[in-house]
Amino acid sequence: MAREATDSADVADAPHPSFEGYAAESPPQAAVGMPGKDGVLELTFAPTSDRTTLVHDYATVPFHVSGTLAHDPHPDAATVFVQSPTGGVAQGDRHEIAISVEGNSVAHVSTQSSTKVQSMTHNYAAADASLSVGAGGHLDYVPEPTILHADARYSQDLTLSLDTGSTAVLGDIVVPGRLARGERFEFERYLSRVRAEGPNGLLFEDATHLAPGESDPTEPGIFGEFTVYGTLFVVAPGTDTADMSDKLHEAVADCEARAGATTLPNDAGVVVRALGDRAETVQSALHAAWDRARRTLIDAPAPSGRKF
């Protein structure tokens, strides 16, 4: 089906103030908005007589969708692993993601592998994700980790809209360099913003802003002795958030990573934050919390992390 691609400049029109200086720099290679730089991904899930079905998908480079999987422990769920045929995110890239889960559907969206944000000398890279879940629906949006190469400049915004009785789990792990080669906190700037809204308006906003050249991330109160940082938002308005927080804290208490859970504002749900020395330990902690949350919300365990 023919479709007119979204203007990639929309993402770049109003960058965060800390990225405005980068936006004025023109990449010496392909410019912002050129083919291959303005990746678009659209996914729509809807209930059918058998289970949740992917009823609409549209992808441009660097996104690729090869269909759905049906291995989720929940009998009605549909799974999509988003693939990328490129080597990573480059300077000047602007990506837009729109995922819609219609009422009474259950969907799980992840990436096939880690997102590698390449080194940059001009401009920056940005991703804008818009997620919506209809009444009684559930979405798990848990991508693989984001790896920030030396001199990377990366901004990502995620907006979640929930209808009455819907829930979502959002995961994010940031790895500050290619750790195996001793690269740590050599990226230039990283900004991740999350905003969630319900039927009655704003539920919460959260932001992570790291700029190693301006403040040392290894100071106490930031990363301290740890390297990898992960966050899991369990957004479930109307649930017993205090009880959920206790359950998730218990789930991560004995993990190798240092992790804990706390309730979100406006009884929106629970957030779990984890710090560790390796991506694998942080992933393990967040998976334990994800598993406990799923059993509570939709009476099914979290899918296995294996993707090969």
CB 170 within 8 A of CB 203: no
* Confidence tier at 35 by pLDDT (50, 70, 90): low
Residue given tokens 């390796």 in the structure block:
278
pLDDT, one tens digit per residue, over 80-128 is 999 998 889 999 999 999 999 999 999 999 999 999 999 999 999 999 9
Burial letters for 210-224: b for 16+ Cβ neighbours within 10 Å, e otherwise?
Answer: bebeeeebeeeeebe
pLDDT, one tens digit per residue, over 262-285 is 999 999 999 999 999 999 999 999
pLDDT, averaged across the chain: 91
H or E, element range at 241: helix 241-252
Closest listed residue to residue 133, CA positions, set 109, 157, 168, 158: 168
Sorted by where each begins, the domain ranges of the chain are 36-297
pLDDT at 22 over 90: no
Task: List CB contacts of 52: < 8 A, sequence separation 6 or more.
Answer: 45, 46, 76, 77, 78, 101, 105, 106, 107
pLDDT at 7 over 60: no
What's the whole-model pTM score? 0.91
pLDDT (0 to 100) of residue 25: 77
pLDDT (0 to 100) of residue 144: 96
pLDDT (0 to 100) of residue 139: 98
pLDDT at 231 over 80: yes
Query: Of the given ranges (210-224, 233-247, 270-284), which has the lowest mean pLDDT?
Result: 210-224
> What are 202's two structure tokens?
């704003």
pLDDT at 216 over 80: yes
pLDDT at 13 over 70: no
CB 68 within 8 A of CB 101: no
* Confidence tier at 36 by pLDDT (50, 70, 90): low
Which backbone phi and psi does 137 adopt, to 5 degrees?
A: -90, 170
- Cα separations (Å) of 95 from 156, 253, 302? 9, 36, 27
End-to-end CA separation in angstroms for the chain: 30
